[in-house]
Structure 1
Amino acid sequence: MVYLALEKILNEFAEKEGKEHVDTYNKVALTAKAEGYADVEAMLCAYAEEEAKIAKTAKNVSELLKVKALLSEFAEKEGKEHVDTYNKVALTAKAEGYADVEAMLCAYAEEEAKIAQTAKNVAA
């Protein structure tokens, strides 16, 4: 699924951004500080903070994609399994002359379909 591929890419990016770039800027900032370049240190520390924010944003987007993927799977399963099951049992009830049970099961199927559609809409 596209969500999972994007999630993987974003997680890798966030990890690399967080570890490599932030650590590098902070290391060079410490060297600048030790050599008496406070202005360079401040600039590099600001860069490190921005890189950390970028990594956090990528991680947050990755988590959002994971939720979207789960909702999409849920919507698919809800639509196929639950709705189909209720409708199938409703047909059996109808064939056996239980109109009230059929109506109840059809109502359940409609509700399940609405739940699936809502999950699908939220995932989109």
Structure 2
Amino acid sequence: MVSAENRVIAAGFLGVIIGFILLAAVETFVGLPGQWGFVVAFLLLALLGVVIPQVYLSSVDRSVSRTARMGVVTVVLLVLASGFSAEVSGTEGITIWILVGISFALIVAVEIRDGYRQSVQDGTSEP
């Protein structure tokens, strides 16, 4: 039997495939200026294939720590950004790395908030 985690990840990749088909249709009929198609492709792959499934799984599946899931998101985003930024230059490349930086900052902020909440609950917030 297929686990719930595998179904969520498969649904994410199905979303990526559908997203790329829609991106190809938009590129064919309307077109995107410059190399913005790479930025949109990065967003589709990152959000639908990695971020949304891992965030969903971190909220419903407690067998794997949220920190580990967000670590996976960070590493995959860095790898994807490296690959996509090699194909683009200028504003598009900067945009990809800004998106990665924002996601990294959000992950760090959530971990700091959770650590603070845990220390307050434990009563160990004194220096």
Output the TM-score relative to the length of structure 1.
0.39
Between Structure 1 and Structure 2, the one with more helix by share is 1
Q: Which has the higher contact order (CA 8 A, sep 6+)?
A: 1
TM-score by length of 2: 0.38
